[in-house]
Chain A
Amino acid sequence: MKITIRHWHAIAQWRWDIGGTSDHDDADAEDDVCGICRVPYEGCCPACKMPGDDCPLIWGECSHVFHMHCLLKWLGTAASKQQCPMDRRPWVTAERKIAQPVAPAALPSTAPS
């Protein structure tokens, strides 16, 4: 028997790594929307056409997450007083900590010489 593949569709799925929710189930998916525009994190802000790297998320030290463009639009207004829309604390952008496997070579040696 000979099989000829005429065409095929590759399908991929992606999600922003919003940290600590790797075992996220779909029941929580509804909460995964930007509080400002109410569009899912994996969607894009109302000003963009394509989701992805061109419309990234932004994390605050307060742990709240928004589409970066939505938050910047808010912080650009005098009314924002530079506060997080969720908790009204001064907005401080968090350093993005990406969990990466620690290479053994990078571990400090504890063996006495």
Chain B
Amino acid sequence: MASISARRLRKELSEIHVEGCPVGINLLSADNFEQWLLSLEVMGESQYPGEVFALKFRFDPNYPISSPAVQFVVDGKYTSPVHPHVYSNGHICASILGNEWSPVLSVIGICVTLQSMLASCKKKERPQDNDRYVLHAPDNPKKTRFHYDVDTV
């Protein structure tokens, strides 16, 4: 029998195909139910004009009961957005990906939240502990226990 994640992701995928993605968000690849790639750009006035980022989602068979591992892609083509909550290795410190995950959230819902996180950025800078974190960061950002700031950046 198909896993919970496959059933749920199949539904999300058909919703994307029927309704399309919100402005600034595009599906790059969803060939399986383990890893999806989506592109993300911030519309309107922002610190990131013309910049296009890619988000990598990794799902375990228990999604959406367990949160997906979400990070920005850093490779020859894409970079990590310079933002106080985004590390240069692409890891993101956002509470909805960690201790505030809810199974009613979705891939598109996460993209929209991260899009507005970038949109509301006032100053392009890396997290204070970027270098120290990136040096020892696990491959999977879900293994990191982020300390969430109370601000709303």
CB distance from A77 to the nearest CB of B (A): 6
Complex contacts, B101 vs chain A, CB 8 Å: 79
- Chain A residue at minimal CB-CB distance from B100: A88
Whether B102 contacts A46 by the Cβ 8 Å rule is: no
> Is there a chain A Cβ closer than 8 Å to B11's Cβ?
yes
Chain A contacts for B8, CB-based, 8 A? 37-38, 46
Given contacts A85-B102, A86-B104, contact A74 B11 (CB under 8 A): no
| B99 close to chain A: CB less than 8 A | yes
Q: How many residues from B make CB contacts under 8 Å with A?
A: 17
Complex CA gap A35/B102 in Å reads 10
Asked if B65 lies at the interface with its beta carbon under 8 angstroms from chain A, I say yes
Residue-wise, chain A 38-79 has the 8 Å CB interface mask toward B (1 for contact) of 110000001100000000000000000000001001100101
In the assembled complex, which residues on chain A have CB atoms less than 8 Å from the CB atom of B12? 38
User: Could you tell me the dominant secondary structure of chain B's interface residues?
Assistant: loop
Q: Cβ of B103 < 8 Å from any Cβ of A?
A: yes
Size class of the A contact interface (CB-based, 8 Å): 10 to 19
Task: State A46–B65 Cα separation when bound (angstroms).
Answer: 12
Query: Which of chain A's residues have a CB closer than 8 A to the CB of B134?
Result: none
- Cβ-neighbour of A46 out of B7, B67, B99, B100 (below 8 A): B7
Q: In the complex the two chains form, what is the Cα distance from A88 to B99 in whole Å?
A: 11
Do residues A77 and B7 form an inter-chain contact, with CB atoms below 8 A? no
CB of A36 closer than 8 Å to a CB of B? yes
Closest CB in chain A relative to B8 CB, distance in Å:
6
Please classify the interface of chain A as helix (H, G, I), strand (E, B), loop, or mixed, using the class held by over half of its residues: loop
Which residues of A sit under 8 angstroms from B3, Cβ to Cβ?
46
- List the B side residues contacting A85 at CB < 8 Å: 102-104
Provide the residues of chain A in CB contact with B79, threshold 8 Å: none
Complex: how many Å from CA A37 to CA B106? 10
Q: List 25 A-B contacts (CB under 8 A).
A: A35-B103, A35-B104, A36-B64, A36-B103, A36-B104, A37-B4, A37-B7, A37-B8, A37-B64, A38-B8, A38-B11, A38-B12, A39-B11, A46-B2, A46-B4, A46-B7, A46-B8, A47-B4, A70-B103, A74-B103, A79-B66, A79-B67, A79-B99, A85-B102, A85-B103
A37-B64, A38-B12, A86-B104 known; 9 other A-B pairs, CB under 8 Å? Answer: A38-B8, A46-B7, A47-B4, A70-B103, A74-B65, A79-B66, A85-B103, A88-B100, A88-B102
